[in-house]
Structure 1
Amino acid sequence: MALFPYLDTNRQFYLPVGEGHQLYVEESGNPQGIPVVVLHGGPGGGCSPAMRRFFDPQKFRIILFDQRGSGQSRPLASIEHNILSHLLADLEKIRQTLDIQRWMVFGGSWGATLALAYLAAFPQYITAMVLRGIFLCRERDLDWLYTSKGAARLFPEAWHALEQQAPPGTGSLLERYYQGLQGAEAHRYARAWCNWESTLALMPTQSQGLGSDDELCMARQETHYFRADGFIERPLLDACAGSQVPVEIVHGRRDFVCPPEQALALHQVLPNSVLNWVEGGGHSSMDPGIAEALLMSVERLLRELV
C-alpha cells in the first residue's frame, strides 16, 4: 500500500483563538468526506504536507493545523498562554469553526499525547483514532529522555554532546535548557536540543551551530511543556481507561524516543483498541514500516466508518 500523492489544499486560513494567538489551519481532500484532524508532534513540531499522505483524498476531509506557537501559527515559538488546556480549547474552536460534528483524530508522539487528552475531555466528538509512537508524558517517560538513567545509556556520545552544550546554571538538564532557550544564545541551544531528539529518532543530525527558527520553536516548547509534565492534570491512562472509541495504535519496536511499553500500557486500558507492532520500526511516521502500518490502520477504520 503506497502513500497517497501530495495534493493542493482546498483552503488555508488563520483562526484567532485568543491571547494574541492565531492558528494556521488548512483543509484538503473531499469537503464531503470523513473529517480527520491531524495532530503534529513536538510540542512545537508543526504540520507538513507529508502528513496528508496517509488519507485517500477522495474519501477524507483532511484538516491540518499548527498548534499554538508552532509552524505557521502566530506568534512563532511563543510559550505565553500556551498550556495543554489551551490546545484542547483550540481543537474545539477549529471543530466548531469548520462545522464538524465528529471527526477522526490522527496523531503521533506529542500528537498522541494531545489526542489522548482530547479523548479524555471530549470523547463525544471522536469517531475513531490512529495513534503512533505513544508518549504518555509520565515522570518515567521524561526521565528516559532527559536524565542519565534512560536513553543516555544507549547513545552515550550524543548524551555527552547534549550535556557539553547545555546552558550554564543549576538544576536539571531540562531546566537549564529551558532557561537558556529564553536568552541570547537560544538558537545555539536549540540546535543541541534537537540533535539529541534526532539521534533517538534515528534521523540525521545537524552540525553544531545556530539552529533554525523551527528548531527554536521545538526546543522552547518542549522544555516549556516537559518541565511542567505536559500540564497534564490527570494521568492519561487513568483519564482514558475504558473508552469505547475505536483506536488503532502503531508503535515501532525500535522507538528510542517513546519506549514501546507505553503503547502496551495504553492498549491494556482501551478495550476497543488494536496494537500494531512494527518490527524494526523507529519513531518517525516516515519510517517505511511505520508508514505502511499507519496506512493500513486508517484503511481498517475507514471500513468501519463508511
Structure 2
Amino acid sequence: MMHKPLFAAALALLPLAAQAQTAALPTDPAADWSVATSEHRIAVEGGKVWVRVNGVIGQGETPVILIHGGPGGTHLGFGTLLSLADQRPVILYDQLDSGMSDHPGDPANWKPARFVAELEAIRKALGVERWHVIGHSWGSALALEYAAAYPEHTASAVLSGTFLSTSHWITGTNLLIRDLPDDVAATIRACEGPTPPAIEVCEPATAAFYDAYNGRPDRPAPTSVMLAYRQRYGGKGFNPELYNTMWGPTEFRASGSLAGYDVSGLLARVDGAKVMFVIGQYDEARIDTVQDFLALTPGAELAVVPGGSHAFIAERPEVAEAIFRDWMNRKDAAAPGH
C-alpha cells in the first residue's frame, strides 16, 4: 500500500469529443499497451486528471477502472492488465498531483473524499453507467469508499493488495519485519528509532524488506514496451510530497494525514457478493489481516496469487489477469438483464 515505488516513474466538464485524442486500437493490447484508444483530461475538484481508455465505452462488456496506489503513485503498474481490453473497455488514470495529471500541489486536495469524488467525475465524463472498480494498495481503500458511496454505479469492487486501515497495516508491517533475518530486522528497528544510523545502513535493510514483500527478486524484467512507455511518460511519476504528507517518510509508521485512517467499517455496507480481495502469497497485506476483512464482508471472495508479493500484478501477470478476468466475467453474467 503505502510504499515508494521501486522505479521513478472548478471548470465545467468539456464535451467528451472535445477532450478525447483518439488513436488506433492495437490489434493486441497486451503486445503494445502503450497505445490508448483515447486519452482525456477531465476536470475534477482541484484541477484536471489524465485518463486513458483502451477500448470504446459502450462496446463490449462492463468497463473497468483501475485505481493505483501510493498515495502519489501512478497507473504505470497496470500495463499488463490492458489485455483485458479484448473484452471490455479498460480505464487507467493518474490521481490529481500524480503522473500525467495536473500538479496543483495544494494539500487541501489530498483528502480521501476528494479522491473518491474524482472517480465519480471520471465516470460521468466518460459516460459510463456502471463499472468494475479495481483498486490496488491505497487504491483498494478508494475502491471500497467508492463502492459504498455509489453502489448503483459499481458492478463489483476488487480490493487488491488490500489496505483499508492504517493501524492494521502498521501492525502487519511490524510482524513482517519480525520474520526477516535477525540482523535485518534489528537494523530496520534501529532505523525507525529516535537516533537512526546512517542512510547507508538503513537502505539495504529496507531493500531486503521490499525484496521479501514488495517486488520479489524473481519478478520478470521490464518488457521493451514497458521501457518505451516509461521513457514516453516524461518523468512525471511518483509524487513524494503527496506520499509524505498523507502517509509519512517511511513504510513502517504513519505520521501523515492517514495516520488514523480506517474504512474497514464500510465492509458491512457494501454487497459482499460484489467484493473480491486479492493478495500475493508474500504480500505486505498479510493474509490473516485480509481474512479478518473477509469475515466482515459476507459473500465476498478471496484470491491469493502464488509466489506473488504486494507487486503481484507485475510479478505474476498471467495469474493476476486471469483472476480479474474470471471475476468480472462471472459478475457480468450474474447481473440482471445480461
With the shorter chain as reference, the TM-score category is 0.7 to 0.9
| CA spacing shift, 1:50–1:118, aligned 2, 3 Å | closer
TM-score of the pair, normalised by structure 1: 0.73
1:5 is aligned to 31
1:85 is aligned to 113
Displacement after TM superposition at 1:47 (Å): 0.5
The secondary structure found in structure 2 opposite 1:230 is coil
Is the 1:70–1:77 contact (alpha carbons within 8 Å) kept by the matching residues of 2? no
Cα-to-partner distance string for 1:167-209 (whole Å, 9 max, x where unaligned): x989xx9xxxxxxxxxxxxxx9xx89985873431446xxxxx
1:17 aligns with 2:44: yes
Is the 1:250–1:294 contact (alpha carbons within 8 Å) kept by the matching residues of 2? no
| CA spacing shift, 1:49–1:297, aligned 2, 3 Å | closer
The secondary structure found in structure 2 opposite 1:63 is strand
- Return the alpha-carbon distance in structure 1 between the equivalents of residues 310 and 63 of structure 2: 25
Is the 2:159–2:278 contact (alpha carbons within 8 Å) kept by the matching residues of 1? yes
- Return the alpha-carbon distance in structure 2 between the equivalents of residues 280 and 49 of structure 1: 18
1:302 aligns with 2:314: no
The secondary structure found in structure 1 opposite 2:86 is coil
1:184 is aligned to none
| CA spacing shift, 1:218–1:268, aligned 2, 3 Å | same
Q: Which of residues 146, 153, 161 in structure 1 aligns to 2:178?
A: 153
Cα-to-partner distance string for 1:124-167 (whole Å, 9 max, x where unaligned): 2100122321112241322443xxx433323465566667777x
Is the 2:305–2:312 contact (alpha carbons within 8 Å) kept by the matching residues of 1? no
- Return the alpha-carbon distance in structure 1 between the equivalents of residues 309 and 298 of structure 2: 26
Is the 1:162–1:196 contact (alpha carbons within 8 Å) kept by the matching residues of 2? no
Instruction: Using the aligned pairs only, state the percent identity.
Output: 22
2:8 is aligned to none
| CA spacing shift, 1:52–1:100, aligned 2, 3 Å | farther
Aligned 1:1-306 pairs, distance under 5 A: 4-7=30-33, 8-19=35-46, 21-31=47-57, 32-33=59-60, 34-48=62-76, 50-51=78-79, 53=81, 55-75=83-103, 79-145=107-173, 149-155=174-180, 195=207, 198-199=210-211, 200-203=213-216, 214=238, 216=240, 219-220=243-244, 222-223=246-247, 226-228=254-256, 230=258, 235-241=262-268, 243-244=270-271, 245-255=273-283, 257-286=284-313, 288-289=315-316, 291-306=318-333
Displacement after TM superposition at 1:61 (Å): 1.1
Amino acid at match of 1:14: R
- Return the alpha-carbon distance in structure 2 between the equivalents of residues 37 and 96 of structure 1: 13
Structure 1: runs of 5+ lacking an equivalent: 174-187, 205-211
- Return the alpha-carbon distance in structure 1 between the equivalents of residues 141 and 149 of structure 2: 13
- Return the alpha-carbon distance in structure 1 between the equivalents of residues 108 and 208 of structure 2: 25
1:207 is aligned to none
| CA spacing shift, 1:10–1:238, aligned 2, 3 Å | same
Is the 1:104–1:129 contact (alpha carbons within 8 Å) kept by the matching residues of 2? yes
Is the 1:38–1:65 contact (alpha carbons within 8 Å) kept by the matching residues of 2? yes
| CA spacing shift, 1:49–1:154, aligned 2, 3 Å | closer
- Return the alpha-carbon distance in structure 2 between the equivalents of residues 159 and 248 of structure 1: 32
Amino acid at match of 1:18: E
The secondary structure found in structure 1 opposite 2:109 is coil
Aligned residues: 274
Name the Cα RMSD after superposition. Answer: 3.7
The secondary structure found in structure 1 opposite 2:164 is coil
| CA spacing shift, 1:78–1:223, aligned 2, 3 Å | farther
| CA spacing shift, 1:297–1:165, aligned 2, 3 Å | same
Cα-to-partner distance string for 1:7-37 (whole Å, 9 max, x where unaligned): 3212222223233x32111111233232111
| CA spacing shift, 1:273–1:291, aligned 2, 3 Å | farther
- Return the alpha-carbon distance in structure 2 between the equivalents of residues 258 and 230 of structure 1: 17
- Return the alpha-carbon distance in structure 2 between the equivalents of residues 78 and 194 of structure 1: 30
Cα-to-partner distance string for 1:79-118 (whole Å, 9 max, x where unaligned): 4421101101111111111111111011211111111121
Amino acid at match of 1:297: F
